[in-house]
C-alpha cells in the first residue's frame, strides 16, 4: 500500500487535498452532508431498520469466502465496510472517501469508539440521539480519490461502492482504477441510482444497457439487478427520497 502524503487528526491523506479543494467540496460540509449521511447510515432505530439494507442483501449472496483485502470506495460514514469488516475479522479492510469530514466521522465512530451524538430536532425527533461507537480492529479509514487508489496493482479481493459511480467526474476512470487494484477474479459489488450529475454521463451510460456494455468490456458481469428501491428517510413524519438503484456484481476478467 502506498504511504500517505500526510495526516490530519489521524486520518491518512493518500491524496494531497488542498484547502481550496476542501472548501469547494460539498461533502466536506458537516451539516448537511455528514449529519445527513450519519442519520441515514447510523440511526437504524429511527427508521425501523437500515434504509440501505436491500443493497447489502443484494451483495451478500456473492461475497467471497475468505477475502484478504477489502475496500469500500466513497464509504462516507463507513457503514457498509464496517459490517463487512465484522463479518471478515481476518481481512484487512479499508474505507476510503474523498471527504476528510466523512473519514473523520467514520474513523471516530467505527474504530475509535467515539459515541455518536446527533440532534435531529429539525427533523422532528425530540430526543438527542446518542449511541456508543465501536472498536473494529481490522478497519481503517483514509482520504483518497476513486481514480487514484493507494493500493498496489492486483492487491484487492473485494471492492464495494454505493451511490458513487454517478457522482464521479469520470466514471470509466474510476472503474479502470478498480480493475487495476483488483486481483485476478477479484470482485466488485456496487449499487448506483444512476442519478448522474453531468449531462454527458446520461448520454454515455443511460439507459442502463449502455453502462452494461461499458462495464462488460472490462469486467465479467456476475449479477445485474435493476429496480432496487431505497427510501432515504428525511424526518419523523415518514417523508423521504426514493432512489431507484441498479445493483451490480462484476468479476475481474
Ligand atoms: C452520495 S455519497 C454516498 C455515500 C455512501 N456510499 C452511500 O451509499 O450512501 C458519495 C460519497 O462519495 C464520496 N466521493 C465523491 N467523489 C469521490 C471520489 N472521487 N473518490 C472517492 N470518494 C468520493 C463523497 O465524499 C461521499 O462521501
Domain assignment of residue 196, given as a range: 6-252
Residue 247 in domain = yes
Q: What pLDDT, on a 0 to 100 scale, did the predictor assign at position 127?
A: 84
11 CA from centroid of ligand 1 (Å): 17
Best CA proximity match to 82, nearest among 44, 48, 117, 31: 44
Q: Quick one: which atom of ligand 1 is closest to the CA of 72?
A: 6
Residue 114 in domain = yes
- What pLDDT band is residue 32 in, cutting at 50, 70 and 90? confident
145 CA from centroid of ligand 1 (Å): 10
101 CA from centroid of ligand 1 (Å): 12
134 CA from centroid of ligand 1 (Å): 22
Residue 1 in domain = no
Is 14 in contact with 144 (CB distance < 8 Å)?
A: yes
CATH number for the domain including 170?
A: 3.40.50.150
Q: How many domains does the chain have?
A: 1
| Ligand 1 pocket test target in 21, 24, 58, 76 with most atoms within 8 Å of CB | 76
> What are 106-133's pLDDT values in tens digits?
999 999 999 999 999 999 998 899 999 9
The structure's pTM equals 0.98
The residue to which cell 427508521 is assigned: 47
Q: In whole angstroms, what is the distance from residue 74 CA to residue 141 CA?
A: 11
Q: What pLDDT, on a 0 to 100 scale, did the predictor assign at position 126?
A: 87
Average pLDDT over residues 90-116: 98
Q: In whole angstroms, what is the distance from residue 95 CA to residue 143 CA?
A: 9
251 CA from centroid of ligand 1 (Å): 22
Is 69 in contact with 156 (CB distance < 8 Å)?
A: yes
Q: What pLDDT, on a 0 to 100 scale, did the predictor assign at position 12?
A: 98
| Ligand 1 pocket test target in 164, 165, 181, 243 with most atoms within 8 Å of CB | 164
DSSP 8-state assignment for residue 66 = S
76 CA from centroid of ligand 1 (Å): 6
Residue 116 in domain = yes
Q: What is the mean pLDDT of the chain?
A: 97
Q: Quick one: which atom of ligand 1 is closest to the CA of 75?
A: 6
DSSP 8-state assignment for residue 51 = T
Q: Quick one: which atom of ligand 1 is closest to the CA of 28?
A: 25
> What are 171-220's pLDDT values in tens digits?
999 999 999 999 999 999 999 999 999 999 999 999 999 999 999 999 99
Residue 182 in domain = yes
Residue 229: CB partners within 8 Å, gap ≥ 6? 54, 242, 243, 244, 245
46 CA from centroid of ligand 1 (Å): 23
Residue 132 in domain = yes
**Cis bond before residue 207 (omega within 30° of 0):** yes
Ligand 1 pocket list (CB less than 6 A): 27, 73-76, 97-99, 102, 145-146, 162-164, 167-168
Amino acid at each position: 500500500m502506498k504511504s500517505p502524503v500526510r495526516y490530519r487528526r489521524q486520518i491518512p491523506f493518500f491524496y494531497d487535498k488542498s484547502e481550496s479543494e476542501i472548501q469547494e467540496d460539498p461533502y466536506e460540509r458537516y451539516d448537511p452532508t455528514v449529519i445527513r449521511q450519519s442519520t441515514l447510515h447510523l440511526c437504524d432505530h429511527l427508521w425501523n431498520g437500515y434504509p440501505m439494507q436491500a443493497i447489502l442483501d443484494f451483495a451478500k449472496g456473492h461475497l467471497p469466502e475468505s477475502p484478504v483485502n477489502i475496500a469500500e470506495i466513497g464509504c462516507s460514514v463507513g457503514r457498509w465496510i464496517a459490517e463487512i469488516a465484522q463479518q471478515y475479522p481476518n481481512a484487512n479492510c479499508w474505507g476510503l472517501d474523498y471527504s476528510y469530514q466523512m473519514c473523520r466521522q467514520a474513523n471516530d465512530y467505527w474504530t475509535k469508539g467515539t459515541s455518536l451524538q446527533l440532534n435531529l430536532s429539525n427533523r422532528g425527533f425530540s430526543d438527542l440521539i446518542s449511541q456508543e461507537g465501536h472498536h473494529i480492529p481490522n478497519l481503517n479509514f483514509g482520504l483518497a480519490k476513486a481514480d487514484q487508489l493507494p493500493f498496489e496493482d492486483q492487491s484487492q479481493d473485494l471492492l464495494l461502492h454505493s451511490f458513487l459511480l454517478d457522482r464521479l467526474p469520470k466514471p470509466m476512470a474510476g472503474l479502470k482504477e478498480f480493475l487495476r487494484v483488483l486481483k485476478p477474479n477479484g470482485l466488485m459489488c456496487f449499487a448506483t441510482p444512476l442519478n448522474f450529475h453531468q449531462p454527458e454521463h446520461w448520454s454515455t451510460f443511460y439507459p442502463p444497457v449502455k453502462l452494461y456494455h461499458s462495464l462488460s468490456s472490462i469486467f465479467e458481469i456476475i449479477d445485474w439487478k435493476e429496480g432496487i428501491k431505497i427510501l432515504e428517510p428525511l424526518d419523523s413524519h415518514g417523508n423521504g427520497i426514493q432512489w431507484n438503484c441498479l445493483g451490480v456484481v462484476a468479476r475481474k476478467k
